[in-house]
Structure 1
Amino acid sequence: MEDPVNAMLCHHGFHPSMLAWCSMHQLNLGIMQDFSGSAILLLVRISFFGNYNAEDHLRESMKECTRRFKDFCKLHSFECSQCWLTTGMLHDNQTGWPSLKLKAYNARIFLMFVRAALQAAKSAREAQGLEEDAELSYAVMAAKALCSWFALVERAGRYLTPEQAAEQETAGLVFLRCYTFLARLAASQSIRRWHVITKFHGFRHILQSARLTLYNSRFLHTYVDEDFVGVWIRLSRRVAHALFEFRVLCRFLLRLQAMRTVDQRSVPARWS
């Protein structure tokens, strides 16, 4: 039996170029989870969160990590719904590799904490005159590069200049190169850290697409789409059953119109 043709292919005007990678699912719910999980285990290995006996070391370290993360959020006035971090959140149940399972927004906030923690650990080793730890050094560079990429993406508008697109691609490629080094280092030492997943390939396409189309990937992720699922649920519960679909759609469009923001930047001719 032949596979059915996707209905989208039958629509007039559809082209495969309309499909795009979702940065939220590739990074926040993929790469960043694996990176943060490995980074936390690295910090636990060097006793960054404190020295505990072997049996309780990981559990107590995660408690201290949570305390410091909450202090970090309070210091920088970050809103985050993340509760206590537990040892069960540190590994993927299917693969067994480190992967800190956080929600998309919380993962973005936690990445900044990881960067600060890695930098603090590296500075502490330098102050003590200890030998440079290659894994720690490259983890710091990777965290800085990924945070830089997010900052560039979040500050830019919908349409990019060639310079902005080049900066985003450069920051992303630095992260990928550093992570590749970390993965090879871990493999050479038979350490289960820095897992390479297929979403790295998706991230490479996100960088390439931004350079070729000059369109910011921030406007292609599905944060808003998933948020609107909750809007539909609330509307469905409140409207009268008569003309149900029509009433829900009308109320949704009214809310969508109210939430629209005007892009201050002029739209380039190629997008008009």
Structure 2
Amino acid sequence: MTLVEFSRGLAITADYEVGDEEQFWRLTVRMLLARLRGKIPYNDLGDVVQDAMTKFFTRLTPAQREDILDLWAYLNKVAANAAVDYYRAHKMEIPVDSWDEFKVVEPGKLVHDPFVDHAQKLHLLGVAARVAPDMADALELFLDGYELIEVADMTGKSQKEIHSAFRKVALQLDLRHEAENASVVNPPEGRNELARAVQGLGERQAEVLRLSADGLKPRVIAKILGIDSNAVRASKSIALKTLRDQLGLVNSAEVLNRVREISWGSRLSFAS
């Protein structure tokens, strides 16, 4: 069955009533098609919708379906799950990247977990609309369950661009960061010295250092920057040693903690 044949005649007629199985089926197909079109390749869209429909109608009885308070929200979740299943089935060897890798960790403090409830997800998308409006769709896909590499594939954005945007959102979720940005404040003692030291690094070393301070593993950093994992480790090692020597810090963990406090929102000039 072609997609055209599959979607033909799905208009809801005037005599539709709750409990009418045929009409309800048509409504469900239309909603799933609307949600999945543009996310699933055209040639596979019909199969994905049919599979989602089968699961939806076999797992819930008619009475249970009538008890759904928000059908559109429920079917949005059904569609999101179907799309995630599709991409995972076709890319089983892709390393999993999770939101945990974008959390901004500070001593004794984590940013909010966006998976707590729907209200918090809406708040997160609202923050994204303010600080990274061109990445709001990418973030919504990520929160729907897609992996970073899948989001990049569907949106046409690079993983590096997406990660940078997500980090901006994560920083905004840190209440202390928001408070500091609300007014002009003097940087803490040593902040300017640290910023100058980072600016003295090569651009790759500084970028690797920033991502390392975010808690990302070398494997993930390599994928984001498009370089070899060994190059990541070498750049990180050089950057950490350079900052330890210049700032008189004892260990690498202390360097990363200090680097994590820098605001990376402004454009910095790096040594060549």
Q: Scaled by the length of structure 1, what TM-score is found? A: 0.28
